[in-house]
Amino acid sequence: MRRLFIAGNWKMNLNRGQSLSLVQSLAESLRGVSEVDIAVCPPAVYLGELGKALHATNIGLGAQNVNSKAEGAYTGEISCSMLKDVGCRYVILGHSERRAIYGETDSMVNEKLHAVLAAGLTPIVCVGETLEQREAGQTQQVVRSQCLGSLAGLTEDQMLKTVLAYEPVWAIGTGKTASPAQAEEVHKDIRSLLEAQFSVGTAQKVIVLYGGSVKADNALELLSEPNIDGALVGGASLKQDSFEGIIKAATSVRK
């Protein structure tokens, strides 16, 4: 039995006042929700303050990126222990924007993943194909290769502590969501890859999120698919009512 998990990836949006007011409202309105895991991943500069605001609430705090090194001369970078220090529990790794804009490779994601797990944080590792790759019939091959490269060297126990997110690049910020059947097909394939790499038991336990234009009005049908265990939400996580709507949909799903 997997618990549904809804995480908001704010990307580079909202100012300090808006961030604080959003988490305060969410903490208040989501107070009684216990059947779904919830997290927000704001810009790094606000993590400390929001970590305090979210302390002792049911909303976890996550970062959008991290450096794999422990400390040192890495100007502009942030380490896992710094994230832990300010109350982070989750770290998004290998988001398609980081892969496409900042040149992150599977092996860089893999290095970060090992550092995040060693620090006791929960990684959310993103994979997903571009429109060109989908149209060329390469979706399965691309997603499998990103998974194998990003997850290299994990023990079964570490795999169980890792969250995956399937985010088709063509569905991110475009308003084009993968249909529930399209998303389910990839999620199912990720699970069979995990089965082959680890075990049936582990494959059944790993949380695999879907991301790409998830909104309050399409969340229920996506989350009702057997292998979709939650959502990584971009745009719709920036407003209280839309993020709450997605969480409400998740609470109504019985698997």
Residues with catalytic roles: 95, 167
Q: How far is the CB of 66 from ligand 13P (least distance, A)?
A: 15
Looking at 117, 154, 223, 232, which residue binds ligand 13P (CB under 6 A)?
Answer: 232
Is 95 an interacting residue with respect to ligand 13P (CB under 6 A)? yes
Helices (H), the chain: 16-29, 47-54, 80-85, 96-102, 106-118, 131-135, 139-150, 156-160, 180-197, 200-205, 219-223, 240-251
From residue 188, how far is each of 6, 144, 150, 226 by CA, in Å?
Answer: 19, 12, 18, 9
The correct pick among 233, 246, 249, 250 for binding ligand 13P (CB under 6 A) is 233
Size of the site for ligand 13P (CB under 6 A): 14
Residue 127, interface with ligand 13P (CB under 6 A)?
Answer: no
Say if residues 211 and 234 touch (Cβ distance below 8 Å): yes
- With binding defined as CB under 6 A, does residue 212 bind ligand 13P? yes
Binding status of residue 183 toward ligand 13P by CB under 6 A: no
DSSP 57-107: SSEEEEES---SSSSSS-TT---HHHHHHTT--EEEES-HHHHHHH---HH
The minimum distance between CB 201 and ligand 13P, in angstroms, equals 28
Using rule CB under 6 A, residue 172 touches ligand 13P? yes
230 makes contact with ligand 13P (CB under 6 A): no
3-state secondary structure of 134: helix
DSSP calls for 187-203? HHHHHHHHHHHT-HHHH
Please tell me whether residue 128 binds ligand 13P under the rule CB under 6 A.
no
Nearer to ligand 13P, 124 or 203 (CB): 124
Shorter beta-carbon distance to ligand 13P: residue 39 or 203 = 39
207 binds ligand 13P (CB under 6 A): no
Phi, psi of 109 (to 5 degrees): -60, -40
Examine residue 173 and tell whether it contacts ligand 13P (CB under 6 A).
Answer: yes
The contact set with ligand 13P (CB under 6 A) reads 9, 95, 167, 172-173, 211-214, 232-236
